[in-house]
Amino acid sequence: MSFKNIHNVYFLGIGGIGMSAIARYFAVNGKKVAGYDKTPSQITTDLQDLEIEIHFEDHLKNIPISFLNREKTLVIYTPAIPKNSIELNYFIDNNFTVLKRAAVLGKITESTFSLAVAGTHGKTTTSSILGHLMKEVKATSFLGGIAENYNSNLILGEDKISVVEADEFDRSFLQLSPNIACITSMDADHLDIYGEAEALQESFFAFSQKVSETLIVAKGLPLKGLTYAVNEDADYKAFNLKIDSGKYIFDVQTPSEIIKNIEFHLPGNHNVMNALAALAMADVYGISLENIKQSLSTFKGVKRRFSYKIKTDNFVLIDDYAHHPTEINAVENSIREMYPNEKVMVVFQPHLFSRTRDFIDDFASALSKFDEVILLDIYPAREEPIPNVTSEWLLSKIDNRQKKLTQKNNLIKDIKNSSAKVVAMLGAGDIGVLINEVTNQLLKPQENEV
């Protein structure tokens, strides 16, 4: 199927981070774009500013008439759309071309030189760094987060080179056709889809077989390819790490040369790994190391990846998407590195009942490392409740005297009542919206408060 023959592109779940990047792509390439999402958000508002028509009620009357032309309309949907969706079933029953988001990305990678970033952790930050590095060759980058440099999840270039985030959820990445790819991690996750960790690993093996030219892997993963690591031997090695004025400075040994004094502003050893993976991919592609060094120094990060919402001498509020124990550990390590002598509170909203159940002890261990813990109720996303899987259960397993379960309307009071100087709000649910309200309330002058 050629996108050239398509006039209209209709999205079911247009507010999703991956879906909205593709919507932007089609809109700026002259297609007429519209869509449905369950709830309004900043993403849908930004899309509406591009004159994309969006509605929030799943009903046929809301679909623009021109999009009911079967011959001219492509329908794209996310797996988060329920099977009983009125609009989705209408398009299927009436023989429209209906594709999952992953299939559309697959079509785009087929027709471009594609660089794909896979992994259970780190892929959004790594692909955003890579998109920034590849901008000089006019790559178009589809990201799973909002890159701070561009305030967008799409870095628009031309149609010859693509950078994509290769999502293992629902085995979506097996529809891609990457020329160069990296795999950052293969920790167990999405067991609601895969059942067993071994099945997840098998899908990464299958993805690695789809790479036509060069595979790059974090050292220690059971895959064959160029390796990268921090402070240990690998094909790409970062070493001589030091922190100066809140930024990292380090050297990198590539297979052919050494580049010294790279500056990088994201905190945490895991982000040095992400930068190193992106450097390796750009180097394999052919970007000069001097240009890579310069671009790394100007990368500002990804929204909801260790994003400072408040940063003063007396108080720090950090927003992060971390929703897996490994990611929570990474955030805690980064905070301890930047604020070694401060009391740290974590506010965590578990994401999915199944993930909470599958990793309950690992979550408890990761959260116990903070000085104070506040839990919100589990965010269900696409799931129905599972009996006895609750935030109360998780709280009971956390080894910390300063811990409590709270409701969203009490959170600001709980934060104000704490002596913690650093507060991290973590999770993949609507805590990402809640933090804006928390930030605004905490920034209000005391005298204005009721």
pLDDT tens digits along 376-405: 999 998 789 999 999 999 999 999 999 999
Position 198 pLDDT exceeds 80: no
Other Cβ atoms within 10 Å of 373 Cβ, number: 23
Among the three residues 238, 265, 297, which one is the final residue of a domain in this structure?
297
Tell me, yes or no, whether 414 lies in a domain: yes
On whether both 72 and 168 belong to a single domain, the answer is no
Summarised one tens digit per residue, pLDDT across range 110-152 is: 989 999 999 988 899 999 999 999 999 999 999 988 999 999 9
Position 364 pLDDT exceeds 80: yes
On whether both 365 and 427 belong to a single domain, the answer is yes
On whether both 252 and 182 belong to a single domain, the answer is yes
In the prediction, which pLDDT does 168 show?
Answer: 79
On whether both 287 and 347 belong to a single domain, the answer is no
Domain count along the chain = 3
CA angle 78, 84, 85 (to 5 degrees): 55
On whether both 279 and 359 belong to a single domain, the answer is no
Tell me, yes or no, whether 450 lies in a domain: no
Which among 137, 141, 100, 139 is positioned nearest to 117, based on CA atoms? 141
On whether both 213 and 116 belong to a single domain, the answer is yes
Position 189 pLDDT exceeds 80: no
In the prediction, which pLDDT does 133 show?
Answer: 98
Mean pLDDT value across the chain: 92
Tell me, yes or no, whether 244 lies in a domain: yes
**Position 1 confidence tier, pLDDT thresholds 50, 70, 90:** low
On whether both 408 and 289 belong to a single domain, the answer is no
Other Cβ atoms within 10 Å of 133 Cβ, number: 28
Tell me, yes or no, whether 191 lies in a domain: yes
Position 448 pLDDT exceeds 70: no
**Position 423 confidence tier, pLDDT thresholds 50, 70, 90:** very high
Tell me the CATH number at 96.
3.40.50.720
On whether both 27 and 118 belong to a single domain, the answer is no
On whether both 195 and 222 belong to a single domain, the answer is yes
Summarised one tens digit per residue, pLDDT across range 141-171 is: 999 889 999 999 999 999 899 999 988 767 7
Tell me, yes or no, whether 447 lies in a domain: no
Position 197 pLDDT exceeds 70: no
In the prediction, which pLDDT does 190 show?
Answer: 45
Among the three residues 54, 77, 100, which one is the final residue of a domain in this structure?
100
Among the three residues 100, 135, 168, which one is the final residue of a domain in this structure?
100
Rounded to an integer, the average pLDDT of 100-111 is: 90
Rounded to an integer, the average pLDDT of 84-93 is: 96
Summarised one tens digit per residue, pLDDT across range 318-333 is: 999 999 999 999 999 9
Rounded to an integer, the average pLDDT of 269-286 is: 96
Range of the domain at 393: 307-442
Instruction: Quote the percentage of the chain above a pLDDT of 90.
Output: 76
**Least confident piece of the model among 9-18, 67-76, 140-149, 439-448:** 439-448
In the prediction, which pLDDT does 219 show?
Answer: 96
Residue 25 CA from chain centroid, whole number: 18
In the prediction, which pLDDT does 79 show?
Answer: 81
Rounded to an integer, the average pLDDT of 268-296 is: 96
Instruction: Quote the percentage of the chain above a pLDDT of 70.
Output: 96
Tell me, yes or no, whether 302 lies in a domain: no
Position 445 pLDDT exceeds 90: no
On whether both 164 and 204 belong to a single domain, the answer is yes
In the prediction, which pLDDT does 56 show?
Answer: 96
At residue 39, φ and ψ (nearest 5 deg) are -140, 150
In the prediction, which pLDDT does 208 show?
Answer: 95
On whether both 290 and 222 belong to a single domain, the answer is yes
On whether both 93 and 142 belong to a single domain, the answer is no
In the prediction, which pLDDT does 450 show?
Answer: 34
Tell me the CATH number at 319.
3.90.190.20
